Each structure stands twice: as C-alpha cells, then as structure tokens.
C-alpha cells in the first residue's frame, strides 16, 4: 500500500514542489492551503498525471480547523506516514523597534503555532503505529539573526528547537524527525515579505543563482525515502554563492 504524505502550504514554492516530487516518488498526497481555488487547480494538475490527491482548505493558525481537518479525514487516508510542515512566511524587513505588530503575530502564529498545531494532531497517530516521519521546513535564518530579520529569524530558530525537542521525545519510537533549512530560494517568499512589491522582491535574487523549490523538494524526498533506520536529522541547503543567512556574494 502506498504511503500517505500531508503537506501544508502546498499551493506554491517549496510546498508545491514537495507535493509533486513526493507524488512522483510514490506517495499519496494530502495537500492543504488557505485558498480553495489554487488548491483545487494544483490538485487537478496532479490527478491528470494519475496521482492520488486529497485536498483540505484551512489555515494552520486555526487550531480547531486543524483538529477538524485531521479528525475528519476519510478512513483510508487517516494513517498519515509523512507530515511536511511547510506553511510559513516572512513579513517585513524593518528594524525590530519599528516592526509591525500584525506582521509579528502572523509570523508567530503561522511559523510556530501552525507547525505545533499540525504536529500535535498528527504525530499521536504515528506514535500509535510506531511509524512515520515529520519534516519541518526551517531556514538558515534560524541559525543566526540578520538585519531586519528579527522576528522571522526568531520563528525559524523556534522551528529548530521544536524539531530537536520532538526528535528527542520520539527517540523511543520509530518515528523520524527532520529539519530542512533552506537558504536563498526563489519563490513567492520575498514578494509576500514585501507585501506584494514584486520589484523589491526581484532585487533579492539579483546577482546570484538562488535555489528553487524543486531543489528543496529533492531534499524532502531524500529524507523521506531514506532507509527506515536512517534519520536525516537536519540539512542546511544554501545557494553556491551564499555563505550564511546574511553573506551573499553577488557575482552575476
């Protein structure tokens, strides 16, 4: 029987690429996002290729919606083998003392609480079956702060420690836990960060060949398909001319 993967934030970027590549690798796919239209459009493209897909529209910030989504899964989809906590975002690049309270709340509620919500409702089933894996999409930003990154960096540092803590809590089981930390990836990330300012977003990637969503999805599949006794605990993935979260050599 095929394994089932649940991917949050699946309609764009790393989430979309991960869903596609996991489907190619033989997983059945549960994809979730906030917008039904984009979700169904994506699911339709996967079904056209013959993949099994289930869609769920909800916001990971809404704990009750997360609970209902998991508890009301069709019986034959309820045994989730892989949870990819991908939903997340950065908003703003202001100094901390000028930060926007709404942006802060959105990042904390999505990047930290949303990840915890999904983990709390799905992992108990994995423990009961003594089988499964959680892959959290962290960031190089979680290793060290950079100018203007303050709260976003803090949320990704939290993802690292939450992931490490979960791995420790599950060490007596066969459930594996992975933190994948991308560097500069060209997706909608910067456009969202700058509230739709496409020109400002494009400047982030000028002078360097950034990673793509597919590059990170390849790592997701690698970790998910490793032998059962192998736990890929943490992977840092940077563009070739990126030395850290704040060191980028623009050569082009």
Pick from 171, 176, 189, 194: nearest CA to 234? 176
DSSP state for residue 208 in the 8-state scheme:
S
Helices 213-224 + 13-24 axis angle, to 10: 50
CB 158 within 8 A of CB 201: no
Write down the catalytic residue from 51, 97, 146, 152: 152
Integer Cα distance of 214 and 209 in angstroms = 14
CB 162 within 8 A of CB 113: no
Q: Return the C-alpha torsion angle 156, 112, 10, 100, nearest 10.
A: -80
CB 166 within 8 A of CB 83: no
146 in active site: no
Catalytic residues: 152
């Amino acid at each position: 029987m095929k394994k089932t993967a649940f991917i949050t934030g699946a309609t764009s970027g790393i989430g979309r690429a991960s869903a596609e590549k996991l489907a190619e690798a033989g997983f059945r796919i549960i994809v979730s996002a906030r917008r039904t239209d984009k979700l169904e459009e994506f699911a339709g493209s996967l079904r056209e290729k013959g993949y099994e897909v289930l869609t769920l529209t909800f916001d990971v910030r809404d704990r009750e919606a997360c609970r209902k989504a998991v508890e009301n899964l069709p019986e034959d989809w309820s045994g989730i083998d892989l949870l990819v906590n991908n939903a997340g975002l950065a908003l703003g690049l202001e100094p901390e003392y000028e930060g926007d309270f709404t942006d802060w709340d959105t990042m904390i509620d999505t990047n930290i609480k949303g990840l915890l919500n999904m983990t709390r409702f799905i992992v108990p089933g994995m423990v009961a079956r003594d089988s499964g894996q959680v892959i959290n999409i962290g960031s190089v930003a979680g290793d060290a702060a950079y100018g203007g990154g303050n709260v976003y960096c803090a949320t990704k540092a939290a993802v690292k420690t939450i992931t490490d803590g979960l791995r420790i809590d599950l060490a007596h089981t066969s459930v594996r836990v992975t933190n994948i930390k991308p560097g500069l990836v060209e997706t909608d990330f910067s456009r969202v960060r700058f509230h739709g300012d496409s020109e400002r977003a494009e400047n982030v990637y000028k002078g360097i060949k950034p990673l793509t969503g597919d590059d990170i999805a390849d790592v997701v599949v690698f970790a998910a398909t490793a032998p059962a006794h192998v736990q890929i605990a943490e992977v840092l993935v940077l563009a070739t001319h990126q030395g850290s979260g704040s060191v980028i050599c623009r050569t082009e």
